Structure formats: structure tokens, C-alpha cells
Structure 1
Amino acid sequence: MPDVPDFTLRQLAYLVAVADAGTIASAAADVRISPSTLSDSLADLDRLAGTPLTVRRRAHGVSLTSAGAYVVEHARPLLAASRELMIGLRAEPGELVGPITIGCYPTLAPTVLPPLLHDFGEAHPRVDLHIREATHDQLEGRIESGEVDVAFVYDTLVPGHPRRERLFALPAHVLLAADDPLAQGESVRLEDVVSRDLILLDAPPSSAHTLSLFEARGLTPRIRHRTASYEAVRTLVGRGLGYGILVQRPANPASYEGYPVAMKEISPPVDPVGIDVIWSATIDPPERVRALVSFARSIRWTSS
């Protein structure tokens, strides 16, 4: 008979919850038990391990010891495997079952999410798709920990070193009010707009990318407004309050309020920005996640 460890998966799950939450109270709320029960579980696990796994400091929360970090690192795949075991028991042969948490950069959501939620969802009705819109910096650590299974992002400034596949690529364009004289041309030079008011999409990495386009030509744009909302940029441009630099190209030629806008290529051409699907390089993805990645790669993206 194989050796059976003295610790339980539940104890490991509680330790991982504490590592992620940083405090006993928050971790207890996450796993829906009392703080005293969680503390007792950690003490039992320390005793079984023969060494402290956590350090608790009043007003400073809980941190892991080196032994605790080692246990958490190895506990994560064990817990993931145990969840997959239970999910697999509920599935018919060849059927995909279980949750997938999809991270998505906000401006990509209108392009990427509809075919995933509709087409992939219809093909695999027992897969629960959960959406988490997040900028690249907000995804940091969430892919590696398994909190987010797969994410759709721009190819720049992705935290960590995840696995990735290129889906499509688009160059940035200048967005103008439809009645702007520059909108009558085939393309727009950045030199022609640099002295105008820029409505900056201020969400990483979009803001850095936009500013880098000007910097590459020795230009400094005049920023009038900053907003983290893609539609707010389009609306302000539609009202004639400035121009925008955007990547995504919606089919609707009008702003949220109905003001017509025009998308114009930048001259000389700028390098395209890649849109990638990424997933963990340290956690072996379950079959349903692999199927979602394969499905995303098979789509002929209308924005590409």
C-alpha cells in the first residue's frame, strides 16, 4: 500500500488561501470558515510539517516561511489535479466539463469575447466561462497561480513568461471626427496632429504604446484628456474635442453617442501590435483550456 501523507488537501487549500489573501481574516472569508478554524488548521499543518510554514505579525498580516513557500508551490498543482479529478468524474467520455476563467484586456473584449461565449459556449455547454476584464498589470501573478486560466492581451508588457499564441495583429490608427479636414485623406502623419489635442487612452500598455509612436519620430503630443475608457475616447473625438490613437477597429463608424468618426492609417506605417492568447507556463492546462486555445486559434478574426 502506498504511503498516505498525514496532511489533507483541505489543509493545503487553507495554506494556499492564506498565501494568496495575506491575512487570516481574508483567507477565512474566501474559504468560508471562521478565522479560528483556519488558524487551528495552520497550526496542525505546522505540527505535521515539523516546522513553521507561516509567520504572523500583528497589523502586518501573514507571510510564508521558506518552508511554507515550498509547500505552497507544490500544493497548487496538487489542488488543481484534485479539482480536475472531481470534474472528470462528472463528465461523459469525450465531454468537456468545468470552469474556465478568461482574462481579457478591456478594449479587446468586444472583439474576442463574443465568439468565445457564443460559439465555444454552444459547442461545450458544460464548460462554465467566467470573464475577468483586466489590464496587463492587473494580470500579474494571476496566470502563473492559475487564478486566470487563459487571457487575451496585446503582445507588449505581459507580466511573467506565459505560453502564448499570436491570433492577429493590427497597426494603430488615428481616430478623427468625421468632419475633420484631415479625415478626407487616405492617411494621417503624426506631424499633422501633434500640435492638436490628444484624447489619450490611459490604460497600460495602450498609453505607453501611443506615446512611443510619437517619441520614435521626435514628437511630444499635447494631451488634453486622459481616460481608461475606449468608448470615452471615441465619444470625445466624435464631439470634436481632439483626436485619438487606437488599435482596435470596431465596425460601427460612430461613437457611443452617435457622432460619426473616421479611422485613418498612420503615415509612414507603424509596426502592427500583436494580439495574443496566453496561459500558464508552469501549470499544465486541463483539456477544456487547451480546447479553448485551439478554438481561438481557429477563428478568422474579423478585426485582423
Structure 2
Amino acid sequence: MHPRLLKTFLAVARSRNITRAAEAVHLAQSSVSDQIQSLESELGAALFTRSKTGLDLTSAGLALKPIAEDLLRLDGEARAAVQAAAGEASGSLTIGALETIASARLAPWLPGFQARHPDITVRMKVTDSGALRHLLEDGDIDVAFCFDRRDVTKGAAADRLARRTIVAEPLVLVAAPGQGSAPSDLAALATLRFVATEPGCIYRHLFDTAFAEAGVAAPKFVAEVGSIGTIARLVAAGAGLGLVPRLAVSDALARGDLAELPWPSPMRAAPLVMIWRRRRVQPPALRRLLAAARDTLAPVSERSPTSSEPESANRSKALL
């Protein structure tokens, strides 16, 4: 079974749709269909059956899926081992990131990395946290840059991933200029209007947790928005207050488009992490990117002390 056929099979299994699978593996729909037929002919069994909701795996397909995932993982590790033994550090990498991190952290940093490593081609996918986890687990990206939420990264899937905290990004309470001062306690703050991120986002999680731990009902939201940039514009227009990462609004604060207000209780920072799949041998190109991100991505003044890094981050050092 050629790895190319297994990759196409897994793309169809995950998307349950030939069109979306073709987009994922960058093939024409007819090529995806031909490859699935070729794999079914080789194995002597149908792998999919069509239903009203899409393509479903047959019992044979369900049996093949975990084995195909293992075979592709071993194929990648074999290539990485050969590259490492040959001293090769070239190759291509795909990194995934949240919009805020991509624009504020990675965009200024990547050109320097690529200048130091011209033989490494880097592609970037920008999407939400949930999609990043799926892309990473499926092998569609090599490393994800996101904000850590331990409450949604437990279990076997988390055990297959290594992570390192790069920096703790502070959150700030922002308002339109001249809107006035913030209340001195969370109960009074909860009576005001807010523009918030959607449920599942780390900022929203920290926001909801702050009120819950104080025994105060969270405010009602004027809007729930997936884009931090849109939230900043709505806040600047007077729609309500917002709790956002400082790195996303530092320019707006400096220009006076937004005003920072004090948060009336201790507020946790959002830990910015890079997450990658554990392997016996990491591709040399990925090792270089992980090491460079560890050493140079966060400004020196913002790096967390080594002694405060979580145990999982310390374990990650051995993998770099």
C-alpha cells in the first residue's frame, strides 16, 4: 500500500466527502476517486459506502483507518531518520496558528528564520484552536502555535503531543477612548456591556472563569465575535468593553484608538504554546524551527523563567 494512497484514504475518511478530500490532498476529484478504487482493488474490499450524510467507512475501512495512520507515521519517521543520518536540514514545514499569533508574533519572526534557513520552506495555515488540534493530530500541520487550554487537551490525544510554553500573553480590558473608568469590583463590571470572543476560545474561557470563581454571573454580551480585530473595532466604536490579548491591540492602544482599563481582580495570562506530535525521530527541519522558536520567538523581556515552565514543557526540551 503506497503512502500516497493511504493519505488520500484518510482524507476521505475524515472529510466523508470526495471534494473536500481532494482539496486537502491537493488533487483533482477524479484522482481521489481513482486512488480509492485502486486501494480497494489492492485490498479486495470496499472501504466506503455512500449515505445521505456523506461517505461512511465500511467495516473494512474502519479496520484500515488506525493502521493507515500508524503506517503514515512510521513512513514520516523513516524519512526523518534518513534525513537526520544524512545531515540534511532542508525540507518543507507547515505551521498552524491562531490569527492573533500569526499576525502579531509569527509574521515579524518568520522572515528572520527563513533568512537563516533558506533551504527550509515554511507554509502557514491560520484557523481556530479546534481546527489546529485536528490538523496537528491528522498530520496536516507540523506544529501549532496557539494559546494553551489544559481543560480541552487531556487524554490519549494530548499524550501523543509535546508542547512548550513560549510566553504568557497578558490580557487587557479595553474600552473606547473617554468611556470612563472601570468599576472597582467584578459584580459592578458584570453590569456593563461586553464584546467577547466565542465559547471555546482561551480569552473567553479566562473571562468566564474570572467571574465564575468570584461567584458572579458573567455579563451579557452585545456580540460574540471570532476575530480579535473585529472586537477591537467594535470596542473602539463604543459597542462595549472587551478583554483581549495585549499583543493584538498594542498598536491601537499606542495610537489612542482604544483605552486600557484596570481589571478589578487578578487575571491569568494566556500561555502561548507551540505543540507538535511526539515521534521517535523529528524531521531535522522541524527540530530547527522548534529550537529557533524556543530561543527567539518571544521577546527576551517577556520570556517566562525556566523554573516556572510546566513539567510538560521541560519534557519537550528533550525532544528538540
TM-score bucket of the superposed structures, by smaller chain: 0.7 to 0.9
Alignment counterpart, residue 268 of structure 2, candidates 264, 271, 286:
271
Aligned residue in 2 for 1:198: 194
Q: Which of 123, 130, 140 is residue 123 of structure 2 equivalent to?
A: 130
Q: How far is the alpha carbon of 1:126 from its aligned partner?
A: 2.2
Deviations 1:72-107 (A, max 9, x none): 122212443576589x59xxx755322211111122
More relative contact order in 1 or in 2 (CA 8 Å, sep 6+)?
2
Identity across matched positions, percent? 23
Give 1:149 shift.
Answer: 0.6
Change over 3 Å in CA distance of 1:216–1:26 after alignment to 2: closer
Q: CA RMSD in A?
A: 3.1
Task: Quickly say closer, same or farther: Cα 1:85–1:261, change in 2 above 3 A.
Answer: same
SS at match of 1:266: coil
Which of 94, 112, 125 pairs up with 1:119?
112
The residue type paired with residue 67 of structure 1 is: A
Gaps of 5+ in 1: 1-6
- Please state whether the residue corresponding to 1:125 is helix, strand or coil: coil
- TM value normalised by structure 1: 0.80
User: Which residue is equivalent to 1:3?
Assistant: none
> Aligned partners of 1:27, 1:169: CA distance in 2, in Å?
37
Q: Is the contact made by 2:9 and 2:36 (CA closer than 8 Å) also made in structure 1?
A: no
Offset, 1:227 = 1.5
Is 1:139 aligned with 2:132? Answer: yes
The answer to whether structure 1 residue 172 and structure 2 residue 171 are counterparts is yes
Alpha-carbon offset, residue 12 of structure 1: 3.3
Q: Which moved more, 1:204-213 or 1:285-294?
A: 204-213
Question: Retained in 1: the 8 A contact 2:196–2:224?
Answer: yes
SS of residue in 2 equivalent to 1:291 = helix
More helix by share: 2
TM-score (norm 2): 0.76
Which residue number in structure 1 is paired with residue 305 of structure 2?
A: none
Name the SS for the 1:61 alignment partner: strand
2:73 aligned counterpart, secondary structure: helix
| Within-5 A mapping of 1:24-103 | 24=18, 27=21, 30=25, 31-32=27-28, 33-34=30-31, 37-47=34-44, 52=45, 54-59=47-52, 60-63=54-57, 65=60, 66-81=62-77, 88=83, 96-103=89-96
Which digits, 9 at most, give the CA deviation of each residue in 1:164-219, with x for residues without a partner? 00111134221122313217xxx964344321111112263222321222222222
1:74–1:286 Cα change, 3 Å: same
Greater displacement, 121-130 / 22-31: 22-31
Aligned length, in residue pairs = 285
Q: Distance in 2 between matches of 1:179 and 1:194?
A: 20
Larger radius of gyration: 1
Residue 252 of structure 1 corresponds to which residue in structure 2? 251
On the 8 A contact 2:88/2:284 being kept in 1, the answer is no
- Separation of aligned partners in 1, 2:228 and 2:47: 43
2:308 aligned residue: none
Confirm or deny: 8 A CA contact 2:195 2:224 kept in the other structure: yes
Check conservation: 2:5, 2:36, Cα contact below 8 A.
Answer: no
Taking a change above 3 Å as real, the CA distance of residues 39 and 164 of structure 1, as seen in their structure-2 partners, is closer
2:173 and 2:242 in contact (8 A); partners too? yes
